[in-house]
Amino acid sequence: MSWAVLTKLPKDMVYQHFTPGVVAPLDNTRPSIWFAFQAGKLVMVDDGNGAEVPEALSLSDLNIPYDTTYYLGECQGKSVHAVQVLEQAILPPEYFLKDLRGLIIEKSESFFLLAGRARQIVQWDIDHLYCSRCGTKTVTHPQDRAKECPQCGYTQYPRLSPCVIGLITRGSKILLARSPKFPEGMFSTLAGFVEPGETLEQAFAREVNEEVGLSIQHITYISSQPWPFPHSLMIGFQAEYADGDIKVDGIEIQEADWFPIDQLPLIPPAGSISRYLIDRYVENGQR
Ligand SMILES: [Zn+2]
């Protein structure tokens, strides 16, 4: 089951039929979909049915001043590209910029995944203009999604940061916690980045222990979600409480508590994997 199933059905079906690729086809008469980003925000246009990404044969037809483009693959015969728009450029008035976080509710899961893929590739390009080993300007690899150093040969691939996130259950109660960064009154599941040498389960158990002082058991994988802000891959678990009393670290976690599933506080919005993990447990009931 997908993490967005509980939230909405896809309306933009075309994005469900995406086939990834790296090298653009030689046929330049194919229509193209352009996922263009300026300072991390998506360039959109109102096509009469709401906000959409622009489509045109070539980018110059759209009058979008750009720096770099990347071919991402194809959707039902249309080429899909990621575009890095020039940072200081003034866009023509028909375009507007949208934060992807808001689009997780407004658009379908497949749209969000594709837009997130484009955003990550654009950001990766910006962050890897130079070789991290010797400082020489990198070049884009002709066949692979990679950037190569012409001086020392070091290859840099798109960066992904695995992040474990999970719901801890205790019968009819679940553990939710508040980070100081959250909106006022909101509680969520615990999460943290995986460290070198850890299994995903070890990472989740360590994060839980560090942040709230609890031991957990029966750690089970549930689902995952790419989170392109800027390059996380959220890996979602469910686990049962094993031992210990809640003791928050006071830094990453300000407050944590066991909440009965019929008396939940403000929780993250639909579309997030955290919300999916919570809804799934509440709907399935106590195991
Ligand atoms: Zn180098």
Give the tens place of pLDDT for each residue, 223-238. 999 999 999 999 999 9
Rounded to the nearest angstrom, the distance between the alpha carbon of 138 and the centre of ligand 1 is 8
Structural domains of the chain in order of their starting residue, each with its CATH number: 13-127 (3.90.79), 161-284 (3.90.79.10)
Six-digit token string for 70: 């990347």
Rounded to the nearest angstrom, the distance between the alpha carbon of 157 and the centre of ligand 1 is 14
Q: What is the pLDDT of residues 96-151, one digit of tens each?
A: 999 999 898 888 889 999 999 999 999 999 999 999 999 999 999 999 999 999 99
pLDDT-based confidence at 11, cuts 50/70/90? very low
Position 1 scores a pLDDT of 38
The answer to whether the pTM exceeds 0.75 is: yes
Rounded to the nearest angstrom, the distance between the alpha carbon of 141 and the centre of ligand 1 is 14
Q: Where are the beta strands (DSSP E) in the chain?
A: 18-20, 32-38, 41-46, 51-52, 55-56, 66-75, 78-85, 95-98, 139-140, 147-148, 155-156, 161-170, 173-178, 190-193, 215-227, 232-243, 255-260
Position 286 scores a pLDDT of 55
Position 125 scores a pLDDT of 95
Using an 8 Å Cβ cutoff, are 258 and 173 in contact?
yes
pLDDT-based confidence at 90, cuts 50/70/90? very high
Determine the residue type at 256.
A
The segment with the largest mean pLDDT, out of 58-62, 102-106, 218-222, is 218-222
- What phi and psi values does residue 11 have, to the nearest 5 degrees? -100, -30
Q: Which neighbouring-strand residues pair with 279?
A: none
- Please compute the mean of the pLDDT values over residues 83-105 and round it to a whole number: 93
Position 249 scores a pLDDT of 87
Q: What is the three-class DSSP state of 122?
A: helix
- Report how far residue 139's alpha carbon sits from residue 5's, in angstroms, rounded to the nearest whole number: 40
- What phi and psi values does residue 203 have, to the nearest 5 degrees? -60, -45
Position 93 scores a pLDDT of 95
Rounded to the nearest angstrom, the distance between the alpha carbon of 137 and the centre of ligand 1 is 8
User: Mean of the per-residue pLDDT values for the chain?
Assistant: 92
Closest CA to 214 of 152, 172, 168: 168
What is the number of helices (H) and of strands (E) in the chain? 4, 17
* Burial track 221-250 (b if 16+ CB lie within 10 A, e otherwise): ebbbbbbbeebbbbbbbbbebeeeeeebee
Q: Which residues contact 127 (CB under 8 A, 6 or more apart)?
A: 159
Rounded to the nearest angstrom, the distance between the alpha carbon of 232 and the centre of ligand 1 is 25
Six-digit token string for 218: 């029966």
Q: What is the DSSP letter of 251?
A: S
Q: Which neighbouring-strand residues pair with 147?
A: 140, 156
Q: In this structure, are strands 95-98 and 41-46 parallel, antiparallel, or unpaired?
A: antiparallel
Rounded to the nearest angstrom, the distance between the alpha carbon of 87 and the centre of ligand 1 is 26
Position 13 scores a pLDDT of 77
The sign one gets for the Cα dihedral 228, 229, 230, 233 is negative
Rounded to the nearest angstrom, the distance between the alpha carbon of 126 and the centre of ligand 1 is 16
Rounded to the nearest angstrom, the distance between the alpha carbon of 148 and the centre of ligand 1 is 8
Percent above pLDDT 90 for the chain: 81
* 6 pLDDT higher than 80: no
* 285 pLDDT higher than 80: no
Higher-scoring residue by pLDDT: 13, 171: 171
Rounded to the nearest angstrom, the distance between the alpha carbon of 129 and the centre of ligand 1 is 11
Six-digit token string for 69: 């483009």
Position 260 scores a pLDDT of 97
Q: What is the pLDDT of residues 142-186, one digit of tens each?
A: 999 999 999 999 999 999 999 999 999 999 999 999 999 999 999
Position 167 scores a pLDDT of 98
Position 192 scores a pLDDT of 97
